[in-house]
Structures are given as C-alpha cells and as structure tokens.
Structure 1
Amino acid sequence: MKYKKMVELKNNLICHIRNVEYSDAKAVYDIFNLTHGQTDFLLTYPEENSFNLEKERQFLIEKENSSKEVELCAVLDGRIVGTAGIEAVGKKYKVKHRAELGISVEKDYWSWGIGRALVTSCIECAKSAGYAQLELNVVSENHNAIALYESVGFSEYGRNPKGFCSRNVGWQELILMRVELV
C-alpha cells in the first residue's frame, strides 16, 4: 500500500508522512530502540527488540508489498521522528475485517501534532485496505494518547487491569480501543 502526505504541524513546520522504505531500515531500527526507551507506555523495552537490521529490512519489504498492511514514518528535516503502522488481526474469515494500530514518536516531538498525523494516516490506510475496524491498546495512564485517539473517533470497549507488567511501576492497566471504519 502506497501512502504519502504533507501535514502542517502545530508549530507551522511541515511533516512528511510516507511509507517506510527498505532504505530506511537503519533509521527505523534506531527510532524503535530510542522511543521504546523513552516511555513506559510501549509494549517492549529496547533490549527486547527481536529485530536486527536484516529482519527490519525484510519486515519493511513485506509492508511495502502488502495491500492490507502498512508501515508509515513521520519525517522532519529529512529525519524519521516517528513511525506507525497497521497489521491484520488475522487472515481467518471471522477476524479479517480487523486491523491493529501501533505508533511511537520520539519524545522531543510529543505534542507537535505528529502523533495525530500518523494516526489519521493509518485510519486512511485501514479504510483503503477495506478493514471495518481499527483497534489499539493504550496504557490507562497515557492520558495524552487517549485524548488523541478519542478525538479521531476511537472509543473504549474494554480494559485489562494487568495488561502490562512494567519494570518501573508494576501492573499497568490497558484500555482496549476501536474505531469503526465502515
């Protein structure tokens, strides 16, 4: 799935939202490890990254060639500062209408509008791919992310009180959210 968009951010800078490409593998690998070390709200810690550069390249090739899944990046001044993507929940008939959203943005760029640009772009891609529902999980203490997701149409459909076990704070409750696309 191909995607490209220019977005004006809150500070009037122009951010490019585009497909992550094979040649971006090192930058994507680095931003993944950076962002996963900057917050306790993401699924993994940097040292749990199961990818190396070759696996990252293979993953990006698969996303570039997929009509149902996508990996996007936010680029400012030629530098990737965030990524987001959608993946199918499954290929079986009963779940093939659902996709999951994942996103991370470098902490120095939080509250600039980059997260919103990435999320709305993923919603557009999910609609284009024919999904009926886009889903995500968010830590209940991540109030800024929850407000963003709600503002673009996501709503809560459940909670998992022991969804994450953080090294820093212990149990973290996950809020399950979804947006209907059709």
Structure 2
Amino acid sequence: MQYTKTVFLKNNKECLLRNAVGTDAEEIHKIFNLTHAQTDFLCTYPDENLFDTEEERYFLLEKERSANEIEICAVVGGHIVGTAGIEAVGKKDKVKHRAEFGISIEKGFWGIGIGYALTVACVECAKAAGYMQLELNVVSENRRAISLYEGIGFREYGRNPKGFRSRKTGWQEIVLMRMELA
C-alpha cells in the first residue's frame, strides 16, 4: 500500500506521514528499539526484537508491495519519530475481513497529535484495503491511548486481565478494542 500525507502538529511543526520503505530499515530499527525501551505499554522489549536491519528492510519491502498491509512512519524534522501499521489477521475466509493495528511513538513526541494522525492514517488504509474491522490491544493503564482510540471510533469488546506480564510491574490487563469499518 502507498500512503503520503502532511499534517501540522499541536506545536505547529510539520509531520510527514508516509509508508516506510526498505531504505528506512536502519532508522525504523532504531526507533523500534527506542520506543520499546521508553514505555511498558508495548508488547515487547528491545532485547526481544527478532529483526536485524536486513530483516527489517525485507519486512518494509513486503509492506510496500502489499495491497492490504502497510507500515507508516511519522517524520518530523527529517527524522522518523514513530510508526504505525496494519496487518491482516489471516487469509482464511473467516478472518480475512479483519486487520490488526499497532503503533509506537518516541516519548519526546507524545501529546502533540502524532498518535492521532497515525491512527487515522491506518484507519484510512484499512478501509481502502477493504477490511471490515480494525482491531487493537492496549494496556488498561494507558488511559490516554484508550481515550484517543475511543475518540476515533474504536470500542472495547473485552479484557484480558493477564494479557501481558511486565518485567517491571507484573500482570497488565489488556483492553481489546475494535472499529467497524463497513
């Protein structure tokens, strides 16, 4: 999938949203490790990153060529500060109407509209790809994210009280959210 859009953030800076490409692999790899170290709300830790730069490049090339999946990066001041993407839940008839959404943003760029812009971009891409439902998981303590997702149209459909087992805090409850697209 292809996506490009420029938005202005709450701090009046310009942010380019575009699909991440193979040549972004090194910077995407670094931002993944950074964002996963900055918060306990994501599903992995930096030392669990299974990709090296070359595998990241291949992953991004696959997304670039895909008709129904995408990885979007947020670029501010010439640097990638966050990513978000959609992936098919599966290819079988019973689940091919569903996609999963994931996002991570460098902590210094929280609260200025990048999360909103990336989420809306992924919703637009999911609709364009023909999905009927977009899904996400969010840690229940991440109230800012839940509020953002609800404001865009996601609704809670369940909870998993032991969804994550944090190295720092123990069990984390996961809120399951979905948005109907059609």
Same fold (TM > 0.5): yes
Instruction: Tell me which residue corresponds to 2:92.
Output: 92
Query: C-alpha separation between the residues in 2 aligned to 1:54 and 1:18?
Result: 20
Query: C-alpha separation between the residues in 1 aligned to 2:9 and 2:88?
Result: 29
Alignment identity in percent?
66
Instruction: Tell me which residue corresponds to 1:12.
Output: 12
Query: C-alpha separation between the residues in 2 aligned to 1:143 and 1:106?
Result: 18
TM-score between the two structures when normalised by the length of structure 1: 0.99
Query: C-alpha separation between the residues in 1 aligned to 2:129 and 2:144?
Result: 28
How far did residue 11 of structure 1 move?
Answer: 1.1
Query: C-alpha separation between the residues in 2 aligned to 1:54 and 1:73?
Result: 18
Instruction: Tell me which residue corresponds to 1:121.
Output: 121
How far did residue 131 of structure 1 move?
Answer: 0.1
TM-score between the two structures when normalised by the length of structure 2: 0.99
Q: List structure 1 segments (4+ residues) > 3 angstroms apart after TM superposition.
A: none
How far did residue 3 of structure 1 move?
Answer: 0.3
Q: How does 1:129-168 map to 2 (within 5 A)?
A: 129-168=129-168
Task: State the Cα deviation string for residues 80-116 of structure 1 (Å, max 9, x = none).
Answer: 0000000000000000000000000000000010000
Q: How does 1:1-182 map to 2 (within 5 A)?
A: 1-182=1-182
How far did residue 2 of structure 1 move?
Answer: 0.6
Q: Aligned to 1:68, what secondary structure does the other structure show?
A: coil
Letter aligned with residue 130 of structure 1: G
Q: Which runs of 5+ in 2 are unaligned?
A: none
Query: C-alpha separation between the residues in 2 aligned to 1:157 and 1:8?
Result: 32
Q: CA RMSD in A?
A: 0.4
Task: State the Cα deviation string for residues 1-32 of structure 1 (Å, max 9, x = none).
Answer: 11000011111111000000111000000000
Q: Aligned to 1:156, what secondary structure does the other structure show?
A: strand
